[in-house]
Amino acid sequence: MSDPRIELRIEGHVARLTLRRPEKLNAVDEDMVDALLRACRTIERSDARVAILSGEGGRSFCAGGDIEAWSSLDADTFSRRWLRDGHGAFDALARLTVPLIAVLNGHALGGGLELAACADLRIAEAHVKIGQPEAGLGIIPGWSGTQRASRRFGTQLVRRMALFGEVYSAKQAFALGLVDQVVATGEGGAAAEAAAARVLKRSPRATELTKMLINAAEHEESERVVEALAGAVAAASEDLTEGLAAYRQKRPARFDR
């Protein structure tokens, strides 16, 4: 990893991805966006079968996009680079072929909630606050805070946070379905490791395929899922074996078995 503020460690079958910018509440700037995307590619090419995402320090899981980084951008650069690149990184996280567990060991506000929404499981520590304050700054939830968040949490809940400024405690977030588990402060990491251990007891191929199908049901990546599954069937077929043999032998393929 070229950005020290994004730490990726892969040990055995577990990838641990940590935002390491506690002095800025783990806010994300352009270089960190690029590093997140690279981290996803590394995870996909590794032997990892589950990933854990957390933020360093106990104050903030992620404060979202770094205001100092995006507030100086002109409107065209903001929309064409900042929002687009952020979407690319967050999409890559949401579409990891392995289950992603988010440890909300600090507040998840704005882009931090959008980051947490990429995960398959969200574990919140008891002191955490969750919300979408963007409209108070004159900006929108721009990294799928209206789209993916609505698919995963429900449109009415997103309305309450994004339009009316409601901020929830960890206990409230659990009752509303924003998080899947609440643990005592300081115990999020252990809970995530326990969840990861459960994943590792299950079939890796079946888990990957099941996640792809769930994503397709959410319209997260329907086109890729359909083509990937169809491609896997084709790749395992006798037709491909014959087609490649014919190509290498410079003869017409015979599919008339």
Q: Which distant-in-sequence residues (6+ apart) come within 8 Å of 80 by Cβ?
A: none
Per the annotation, the verdict on 227 as an active-site residue is no
CA distances (Å), 212 to each of 94, 95, 99, 141, in order? 11, 8, 10, 26
Q: Is 131 helix (H, G, I), strand (E, B) or coil?
A: strand
56, 125, 134, 220: the active-site residue: 134
Say how many residues make up the chain: 257
Query: Is residue 106 within 8 Å of residue 119, measured between CB atoms?
Result: no
56, 114, 125, 220: the active-site residue: 114
- The pair of three-digit structure tokens given for residue 141, joined into one six-digit string: 């939830």
Q: Which residue has the tokens 């990294």?
A: 143
- The pair of three-digit structure tokens given for residue 198, joined into one six-digit string: 């459960």
Catalytic residues: 114, 134
